[in-house]
């Protein structure tokens, strides 16, 4: 069983759902309420301070909406925590942003406090603008042009690419573009993720598979010529091993509430943002917790989340099994409606990713390139 004394390694804080651009696949409510206006901000900060001082190390990540729209609240949050952390205890900060406000005073503040920055970018403008638009329906890629050419100005930044049924066919082009603008070393990383709550046709999956195959060829050439790029979850495929199990609410990564919690703008606490009211109304009606990061009700719910995946007989011999077994149950639910049942689409996209890793590794071996050596480099902050 899951024990309530199990430590929390981090918290994801939503300062407010409002955003200055409009993405077609966004699930946030876009309401005017903020964590500060709800009166919950000091309660959450105080509890973070207590937990961090007890554990010695803790992480706080800011999500939205667009969290940099609430820069004043973010500054208050960070400065109050730092003022009350007893040395040598430490809180690491991170942020997920669309990048439009990442300049001037804001950039300087994030740099001073050593933020781990994640910027949403799907590729060149013809791909990025398919789903990421202004509120008037125009191009949003123009709002991140100031990032292009100055990626290396940020000491620790990653690009997050969302792969959708409409953009999957451009995967190789998008990956090449993102590497080309500077996301090409241990401190400038890439992460891609699929939209699983959308319908993928057979044609779109086939187009995505072809693009992933082309990406493997492109990357093999990049690596064999001495280039670098650190790509998640591709790095997990290449490592050919599992992260710590997240069964019954215990895990070495987030795993839908295992090591993190999610705080909504009104101060309620959930296992993760994928299991919050804006994303999953059915699950969130349980109102798991409110106003506290450590809750027996919340902990007990993780046993339901991590009850195990219902495997098909053929799964035991699938080459992608070790990679598939790392899947987050909240993501499984977004595609199938169940925490334990992987949909056919999810299965197909997982196999596409794993196949790309195997293809890339095979090509690199033939060229004398040691991919494990590249991916085993220590990621320094």
Residue 142 lies in a domain: yes
Residue 222 lies in a domain: yes
Q: Look-up: residue for tokens 């789903």?
A: 131
Q: Which stretches of the chain score pLDDT less than 50? A: 1-6, 380-381
Residue 307 lies in a domain: no
Residue 170 lies in a domain: yes
Question: pLDDT tens for residues 186-197?
Answer: 899 999 999 988
In this predicted structure, what is the pLDDT of residue 287?
52
Query: For residue 266, what are the domain limits?
Result: 10-302
Alpha carbons 183 and 173: distance in angstroms, whole number: 14
Residue 226 lies in a domain: yes
In this predicted structure, what is the pLDDT of residue 280?
74
Residue 357 lies in a domain: no
In this predicted structure, what is the pLDDT of residue 346?
93
Look at phi and psi of residue 226 and say left if phi exceeds 0, alpha if psi is from -120 to 50, else beta.
left
In this predicted structure, what is the pLDDT of residue 6?
47
State the total domains in the chain: 1
Residue 151 lies in a domain: yes
Q: What is the CATH number of the domain that holds 253?
A: 3.20.20.70
| Tokens representing residue 196 in the block | 């699983």
Residue 141 lies in a domain: yes
In this predicted structure, what is the pLDDT of residue 4?
34
In this predicted structure, what is the pLDDT of residue 304?
73
Alpha carbons 105 and 92: distance in angstroms, whole number: 20
In this predicted structure, what is the pLDDT of residue 92?
94
């Amino acid at each position: 069983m899951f024990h309530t004394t199990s430590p929390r390694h981090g918290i994801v804080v939503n300062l407010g759902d409002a955003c200055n651009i409009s993405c077609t696949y966004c699930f946030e409510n876009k309401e005017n309420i903020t964590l500060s206006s709800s009166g919950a901000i000091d309660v959450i900060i105080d509890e973070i301070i207590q937990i961090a001082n007890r554990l010695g190390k803790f992480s706080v990540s800011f999500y939205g909406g667009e969290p940099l729209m609430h820069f004043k609240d973010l500054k208050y949050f960070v400065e109050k925590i730092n003022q009350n952390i007893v040395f040598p205890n430490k809180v690491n900060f991170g942020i997920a942003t669309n990048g439009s406000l990442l300049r001037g005073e804001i950039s300087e503040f994030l740099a001073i406090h050593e933020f781990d920055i994640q910027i949403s970018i799907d590729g060149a403008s013809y791909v990025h603008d398919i789903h990421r638009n202004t509120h008037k329906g125009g191009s949003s890629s123009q709002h991140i042009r100031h990032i292009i050419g100055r990626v290396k100005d940020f000491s620790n930044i990653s690009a997050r690419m969302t792969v959708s049924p409409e953009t999957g066919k451009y995967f190789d082009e998008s990956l090449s573009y993102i590497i080309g603008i500077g996301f090409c070393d241990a401190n400038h990383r890439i992460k891609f993720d699929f939209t699983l709550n959308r319908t993928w046709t057979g044609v779109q999956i086939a187009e995505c598979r072809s693009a992933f195959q082309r990406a493997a060829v492109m990357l093999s050439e990049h690596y064999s010529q001495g280039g670098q790029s650190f790509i998640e979850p591709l790095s997990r495929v290449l490592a050919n091993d599992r992260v710590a199990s997240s069964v019954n609410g215990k895990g070495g990564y987030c795993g839908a509430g295992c090591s993190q919690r999610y705080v909504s703008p009104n101060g309620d606490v959930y296992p993760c943002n994928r299991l919050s009211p804006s994303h999953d109304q059915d699950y969130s009606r349980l109102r798991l917790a409110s106003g506290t990061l450590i809750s027996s009700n919340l902990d007990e719910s993780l046993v339901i989340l991590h009850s195990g995946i219902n495997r098909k007989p053929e799964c035991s011999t699938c080459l992608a099994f070790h990679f598939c077994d790392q899947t987050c149950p909240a993501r499984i639910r977004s595609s199938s409606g169940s925490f334990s049942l992987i949909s056919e689409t999810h299965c197909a996209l997982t196999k596409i990713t794993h196949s790309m890793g195997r293809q890339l590794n095979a090509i690199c071996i033939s060229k004398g390139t040691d991919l494990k050596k590249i991916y085993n480099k220590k990621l320094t902050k």
